Chains A and B, each alone.
Chain A
Amino acid sequence: MKTNYLMLHTITRIVSFIILSFSIFLFFAGHNNPGGGFIGGLMTAAALLLLYVSFDIKKIKKVIPFDYSTIIAWGLLIAIGTGLYSMLFGYPYLTQFFEYYTVPIFGEIGLKTALPFDLGIYLVVVAVALLSILTIAEDDT
Chain B
Amino acid sequence: MNDIILLPVLIPFIVGVILILFKKNIQLQRFVSGLTSLSLVFVSIYMVYLIYQDGIMTVELGNWQAPFGIILVGDLFASIMVTLASIVAVACLFFAFQTLHPDREKYYFYPFYFFLLTGVNGSFLTGDMFNLFVFFEVMLLSSFVLIVMGRTKYQLRESFKYVVISIFGSMFFVIAIALLYSVTGTLNFAHLAERIGEVEQTGVLTVIAILFLIVFGIKGALVPLHFWLPNSYFGPPTAVAALLGGLLTKVGVYSIMRTYTLIFTHNQDFTLNIILILAGLTMFIGVIGAVSKFDFKKILAIHIISQVGYMIMGLGIFTQMAIAGAIYIIAHNMIVKTALFLYCGATEKVTGTTDLKKMSGLLKTHPQLGWLFFIAAISLAGIPPLSGFFAKFALVLGGLDAGNYFIVFVSLVVGLLTLFSMVKIFMYVFWGSPSLTPEQAKERKVGKLLLPGIPLIIISFLMGILAEPLFILLFEAADQMLDPSIYINSVLKE
A residues whose Cβ falls under 8 Å from a Cβ of B: 69-70, 72-74, 76-77, 80, 84, 87, 91-96
Q: Is the CB of A91 within 8 A of B63?
A: yes
B13 touching A80 by the CB < 8 A rule?
A: yes
Assess the A92–B17 pair: CB atoms within 8 A.
no
CB pair A92–B59 under 8 Å, yes or no, is yes
Smallest CB separation, A81 vs chain B (Å)? 9
Residues of B within 8 Å of A, CB-based: how many?
16
* B3 adjacent to A77 (CB under 8 Å): no
Cβ-closest chain B residue relative to A80: B14
B6 within 8 A of A: yes
Contacts of A96 in B (CB 8 A): 62
Cβ A73 vs Cβ B21 within 8 A:
yes
Give the total number of A-B pairs whose CB atoms are below 8 A apart. 40
Query: Which residues of B sit under 8 angstroms from A74, Cβ to Cβ?
Result: 21
Q: How far is the CA of A91 from the CA of B2 in the complex (A)?
A: 11
Does B14 lie within 8 Å of A72, measured CB to CB? no
> Which one of A70, A87, A92 contacts B20 once the chains associate, using CB atoms below 8 Å?
A70
Chain B residues lying within 8 Å of A76, measured Cβ to Cβ, are 13, 17
Give Cα A94 to B63, complex, Å.
8
In the bound complex, how far is the Cα of B18 from the Cα of A70, in angstroms? 10
- Identify which of B3, B14, B23, B62 contacts A94 (C-beta below 8 A): B62
Q: Is the CB of A92 within 8 A of B60?
A: yes
Q: Is the CB of A93 within 8 A of B61?
A: yes
Chain B positions within 8 Å of A70 at CB level: 20-21
Report B1-39 CB contacts with A as 1/0, cut-off 8 Å.
001001000100110011011010000000000000000
Contact A95 B63, CB 8 Å, known A80-B13, A80-B14, A87-B3:
yes
Closest 4 CB pairs of A and B: A73-B20, A94-B62, A95-B63, A76-B17
Most chain A CB within a 10 A radius of its CB, from B3, B17, B59: B17
Whether A93 lies near B17 (C-beta < 8 A) is: no
Chain B residues engaging chain A, CB cutoff 8 angstroms? 3, 6, 10, 13-14, 17-18, 20-21, 23, 59-63, 108
CA distance A134 to B92 in the complex (A): 33
Q: Which residues of A contact B20 (CB under 8 A)?
A: 69-70, 72-73
User: Taking CB as reference atom, which chain B residue is nearest A67?
Assistant: B23
Query: A73 touches which one: B3, B6, B18, B63 (CB < 8 A)?
Result: B18
Chain B contact surface mostly? helix
Smallest CB separation, A1 vs chain B (Å): 35
Selected A-B contacts with CB under 8 Å, 17 pairs: A69-B20, A69-B23, A70-B20, A72-B20, A73-B17, A74-B21, A76-B17, A77-B18, A80-B17, A84-B10, A87-B3, A91-B63, A92-B62, A92-B63, A93-B10, A95-B62, A95-B63
Assembly CA distance A10 to B143 (angstroms): 44
- Say how far A45's CB is from chain B's closest CB, in angstroms: 19
Residue of B nearest to A73 (CB): B20
Query: What chain B residues lie within 8 Å of A69 (beta carbons)?
Result: 20, 23, 108
Q: Specify which of A73, A74, A87, A91 lies most central, judged by the most chain B CB atoms within 10 Å of its CB.
A: A73
In whole angstroms, what is the CA distance A12 to B23 when docked? 35
Q: Are A93 and B21 in contact (CB under 8 A)?
A: no
**A93 and B18 in contact, given A80-B13, A87-B3 (Cβ under 8 angstroms):** no
List the A residue with the shortest CB-CB distance to B111.
Answer: A73
Which residues in A have their C-beta under 8 angstroms from that of B62? 92-96
> Which residue in chain B gives the minimum CB-CB distance to A91?
B63
Complexed CA–CA distance, A92 and B21 (Å): 27
Supplied contacts A69-B20, A76-B17, A77-B17, 10 more A-B pairs, CB within 8 Å: A69-B23, A76-B13, A77-B18, A80-B10, A80-B13, A92-B61, A92-B62, A92-B63, A93-B6, A93-B59
B63 to A, closest residue via Cβ: A95
The listed residue with most B CB atoms (<10 A of its CB), out of A69, A77, A93, is A93
A32 to B215, CA, bound (A): 36
B3 contacts across to A, CB distance below 8 A: 87, 92-93
Q: Kindly provide the distance from the CB of B474 to the nearest chain A CB, expressed in whole angstroms.
A: 30
In the bound complex, residues from chain A placing their C-beta under 8 Å from that of B23 are 69
B contact residues around A94 at 8 Å (CB): 61-62
**How far, in Å, is B65 (CB) from chain A's closest CB?**
11
Instruction: Return chain B residues, CB-CB under 8 Å to A95.
Output: 62-63
